[in-house]
Amino acid sequence: MECLSASATWRVPGWLIQETWYEHVAQVLTRILEEYTPDAADIFETLSSDVKREKLAWPLQSLRDEPPCPVGLEQAKVHCRLFSKQEEDVESAEDLPPLPETTELPLPNLLEIANYFEQAGVMLDKNEALRIMMALKELTQHHPVEHCRFWGKIFGTNSNYLVAEVEMTDWDEERELGTSDIYAEAMMEMTKKDGIAEENGKEEADEEDKNDELPKSKYKAPLPIPKEPYQTGANKYLYFVCSEPGQPWKLLPLVRPSDIVSARLIKKLFTGQLNAPVQSFPPFSGSEMYLLRAQIARISAATQVSPLGFYQFEEEEEDEEDEEEEQNEIVENPDFEEPKVGEMVDSLSTWVHHTRYILPQGRCSWWNPLNQDDMSEEEEEKEDEDEEDLSNHPQPQVALPLLTPLTEDAELNGHSPWTLQATSSLLPQFALAVVKSNLWPGAYTFSNGRDID
């Protein structure tokens, strides 16, 4: 029994090296025979320790890497700044007198709007709506904003765009964006080229012996169409974008007619990076920032609608010459009678466009390339000679007037470009009228008779 217990103890595996004492002694003796150690009896313990140490070497894959930072943690840090009050803001708020109840804030109640859109089936998370509303509040605090509205959300391959539509006072494009008028620059450049060409022609004429030259081309590149100034046409509003609530808002430049014309010819996914190049055919002259601004202008011009009678033309006593300009200004109708939801979803004739159309030229107002102010004396003389020939003159482009019913819109592959529906047929007294654009999927307008968005 003692021999059996001793043998069992001898073969019990060690806890650290995971082998029996017999196997360990066998490995030590093998080491002695391989290395021909003369004083093996004296350094037996040292050899045993070396063998144990080799067995205790931990593999590299057992080391754990530092856990990465959660994705939501960085976003939470950015969002916390929106909900934290700065000491300066608190002190300034205490010094200011309370606002009267009739004062209109430039910030909309996005939570209420999100609730209406939720009934329409357009889900905007309430937590996200609150963060966007706080981000819009931050925008109004850093800029002289008269009116601010959440335009929408555009998805991208890498990140998304949150778009804010604002009206600002005392805004200068050259000061804010550091840009100037492309049309004026092109005129100056062409004038310089013409002057250089005339000087070269005089020098060549003075030479007695000159060789035969090939005929020079008289073609002149057309001038770029000037963009509309701020608060007019497609540039009636300014647009700020950001990827996440809490990130800094970036102002988009005023839209150029050439960008709108090019944007109509291409289909391109957004990346979420404003400075990303746009690789397309036909080529687009500009970064994604300009393409985004052009698409925003196109979507706004095509999808901003309202119930018939909600807006009316501004009534002012002006001359007959300004009759066209008068028809371009609309205001809310104070005598507007709230229609029933059933009436608003019966026919497209109960909805109208309250945003101006964009002409094929890329502007809301027609710009004549043969403007008398931009023509040289020779061109004026030539025009006088060809006064009777009207075929050389470009025909002005005319768009549908404001407050045109949706029934005048062109069909989309044989289908209606709009879809009307009520949010509830069981409770019509609490339902909303929803207009969905089939040309621009994702563009919705709701109305309960009193409010629209």
Mean pLDDT, rounded, for 305-333: 71
pLDDT band (50, 70, 90) for residue 84: confident
**Cβ proximity of 187 and 202 under 8 Å:** no
Q: What is 73-135 written as a DSSP string?
A: HHHHHHHHHHHSPPHHHHHHHHHSPPPPTTPPPSS--HHHHHHHHHHTT----HHHHHHHHHH
**66 vs 333, residue with greater confidence:** 333
The model's confidence at residue 427, banded by pLDDT at 50, 70 and 90, is confident
Q: Is residue 161 helix, strand or coil?
A: strand
Look at residue 234 in the predicted model and tell me its pLDDT: 92
Over range 165-176, report the average pLDDT.
76
Task: Domain ranges for the chain, please list them.
Answer: 2-52, 107-174+225-302
Which of 125-134, 175-184, 409-418 shows the lowest per-residue confidence on average (mean pLDDT)?
175-184
Please state the rounded mean pLDDT for residues 120-130. 85
Q: Which two tokens stand for residue 364?
A: 């809301």
At 324-378, the pLDDT tens digits run 444 568 888 888 888 888 888 998 999 999 999 999 999 999 998 876 454 554 5
Q: Which two tokens stand for residue 47?
A: 């050899």
pLDDT computed for residue 104 by the predictor: 58
- Range in 105-109, 363-367, 395-399, 436-440 the model is least confident about: 105-109
| Alpha-carbon distances, residue 399 vs 17, 265, 328, 361, 394 (angstroms) | 88, 20, 12, 11, 16
- H-helix or E-strand spanning residue 241: strand 238-242
Distance, CA of 422 to CA of 274 (rounded, Å): 38
What is the mean predicted confidence (pLDDT) over 35-39? 77
pLDDT on residue 29 = 85
pLDDT score recorded for residue 314: 81
Name the band, by pLDDT with cuts 50, 70 and 90, for residue 186: very low
pLDDT band at residue 316, thresholds of 50, 70 and 90? Answer: low
pLDDT at 10: 46
Contacts 24+ apart (CB under 8 A), 175-178: 176/251, 177/251, 177/253, 177/254
Q: Who wins on pLDDT, 413 or 192? A: 413
- Model pLDDT for residues 246-269, shown as the tens digit of each residue: 899 999 999 999 999 999 999 999
Q: What is the model's pLDDT at position 325?
A: 47
- Indicate whether 57 pLDDT > 80: no
Distance, in Å, from the CA atom of 295 to the CA atom of 311, rounded to the nearest integer, reads: 25
Question: Residue 175's pLDDT is what?
Answer: 58
pLDDT grade for 66, boundaries at 50, 70 and 90: confident
Whole-number percent of the chain with pLDDT over 70: 73
Give residue-wise pLDDT tens across range 194-241: 544 455 555 555 554 555 677 888 877 778 889 999 989 999 999 999
Q: Mean pLDDT score of the chain, rounded to an integer?
A: 78
Residue 152 or residue 169, greater confidence: 152
